[in-house]
Structure 1
Amino acid sequence: MPNSNRYTYMFVALMALVSALLLSLVKTGLHERQEFNRELDMKKNIMMAAGAYRDGMSGQEVADAFKRGFAIKRLSGAGRENVPAYYVYGEEPAPEAVILPVDGKGLWSTIKGFIALESDLNTVRGIAFYEHAETPGLGGEIDKEYFTRRFQGKKIFREGQLVSVTIAKGEMLEESDYGVDGISGASLTTAGINRFLRADLERFTPLLQGRAQQQEQR
């Protein structure tokens, strides 16, 4: 009887060890897959902002197109260690677009996105929002094409000064170079975007002004 109990305990312990090992392997595999999908989604959104994404592209096509057409850059210089990477679309020294990461607090969640600027570094080429948990049908509409395309052609500088692009309710904003008509019922979400969009653009102002001066000199 004692031997029987000992074997039972050993069997249970062995099964628990095997189960823990299998769960650990599954978790590791899922984590790697989740990270891969997260990175792929980020690349897709960068391409969407730059106007380089085509509906129906497979994950492999996105990865290949990103590798061919986009380059990752970082600001250099003292005091800029916390500035994230940015991206260029096209060949240096005159790429088609510069894509900047933007993120901040919305109503319920942190909103992440990318804003792409034309070669003049003033005109918005496109914008994409992702990784948010805003209210479906209200603030959650920020990632829909009908809203993001309102940013296209808007300006972020006025007479050399950064003014960003402001989201507010009012059709007249569509006639403004610096305003975008908002989403009904999503004023708190869009107010958050207004805050962090301007703040993130300000972080990259030295880059934008420096590149613009280089273009003028060529």
Structure 2
Amino acid sequence: MSAKKETLGKTVGIVVAVCLACSIVVSGAAVGLRSLQNTNAALDKQSNILKAAGLAGEAVSKADIAKIYDERVEEKFVNLDTGEYVANPAEGTGKPYDMYGKVSKDPSTSVQVEGAPAGFNRRANVANVYHIKDEQGAVSRIILPVHGSGLWDLMYGLLAIDSDGKTVRELIYYQHKETPGLGGEIQNPAWQEKWDGIKLYKDGEVAVQVKKGVKPGDEYAVDALSGATLTSNGVQNTLVYWMSDNGFGPYLKNQSWKS
């Protein structure tokens, strides 16, 4: 009887020891890879911004991406209520500011979105924006982060606007869960190209539309995605919200990048 107990005890001890050793290895790997993960995440963000800026073709390597980003992109921070630039809210933390992170859930750093017109309930008080500089150092484009609900979940994108503050150059979606071949066509280059030259405002009001049967020459509308009505409506609702006074409207009216 005692031999059986001793054998069982040894077995349990070995199992516990193996589990403990495995947990230490996994934890160590996670810590060791964290720096690499953060680097890759930053590189992916820079790559998407360069794509929206129309500069992706110049970057053929990771080093190119970082170099062009440093030379041509300036990150700024905007108080969405006033449209004015503010200091980096994450200054001194050692981490990049993330308008989609904890700040968007904390009542002290975000506001409630009444009615959730774009499919989310809160938005951060301060948003990241990106100035794209030409070779002379003047701002040629403004990149605005936008997000809103599609069919299945939130869709995250980057809207590139001319320095006039009202003409679209690119609408790039980089994260979504839309159905491949249907709503997933928001990433189709052929559909993305339709946004070049689209106007956001008419007589001071948000006028951009995503709809079926767009007439040739209509500079305020883009054809809806075939078979993806809810995704198309999501894009429409996203742009209407973020271009209004609830989002980047005050900032685009101020055109502070020209001063």
TMscore range, shorter length = 0.7 to 0.9
What displacement does 1:32 show? 4.7
Is 142-151 or 62-71 further displaced after alignment? 62-71
Partner of 1:104: 148
> Would the alpha carbon gap of residues 131 and 168 (structure 1) be closer, same or farther in structure 2, given more than 3 Å must change?
same
CA distance in 1, matches of 2:138, 2:73: 13
Which sections of structure 1, spanning at least 5 residues, go unmatched?
none
Partner of 1:118: 162
Q: CA RMSD in A?
A: 2.7
> Would the alpha carbon gap of residues 133 and 30 (structure 1) be closer, same or farther in structure 2, given more than 3 Å must change?
farther
Is 6-15 or 107-116 further displaced after alignment? 6-15
CA distance in 2, matches of 1:4, 1:131: 53
Partner of 1:84: 127
Partner of 1:183: 225
CA distance in 1, matches of 2:80, 2:210: 32
* Counterpart residue type for residue 200 of structure 1: W
> Would the alpha carbon gap of residues 189 and 55 (structure 1) be closer, same or farther in structure 2, given more than 3 Å must change?
farther
What displacement does 1:36 show? 3.5
SS in structure 1 at match of 2:55: coil
- Check the 8 A contact 2:59/2:65 in 1, yes or no: no
**Alignment counterpart, residue 15 of structure 2, candidates 4, 12, 16:** 12
What displacement does 1:97 show? 0.7
What displacement does 1:94 show? 3.6
Partner of 2:104: none
CA distance in 1, matches of 2:228, 2:32: 38
> Would the alpha carbon gap of residues 113 and 23 (structure 1) be closer, same or farther in structure 2, given more than 3 Å must change?
same
- Verify: 1:27 aligned to 2:69, yes or no: no
Partner of 2:252: 208
What displacement does 1:106 show? 0.3
SS in structure 1 at match of 2:57: coil
Is 129-138 or 34-43 further displaced after alignment? 34-43
What displacement does 1:107 show? 0.5
* Counterpart residue type for residue 230 of structure 2: L
Partner of 1:144: 188
Which sections of structure 2, spanning at least 5 residues, go unmatched?
84-108, 110-124
Is 110-119 or 87-96 further displaced after alignment? 87-96
**Alignment counterpart, residue 194 of structure 1, candidates 230, 236, 240:** 236
Identical columns (%): 31
- Check the 8 A contact 2:79/2:126 in 1, yes or no: no
Is 27-36 or 140-149 further displaced after alignment? 27-36
- Verify: 1:51 aligned to 2:37, yes or no: no
Is 115-124 or 59-68 further displaced after alignment? 59-68
SS in structure 1 at match of 2:60: coil
CA distance in 2, matches of 1:191, 1:44: 27
Q: Deviations over 1:28-61 (max 9, x none)?
A: 4455544433332222221111111117722332
Partner of 1:41: 44
| Total equivalences in the alignment | 213
> Would the alpha carbon gap of residues 165 and 32 (structure 1) be closer, same or farther in structure 2, given more than 3 Å must change?
farther
* Counterpart residue type for residue 51 of structure 1: G
What displacement does 1:187 show? 1.2
Is 110-119 or 64-73 further displaced after alignment? 64-73
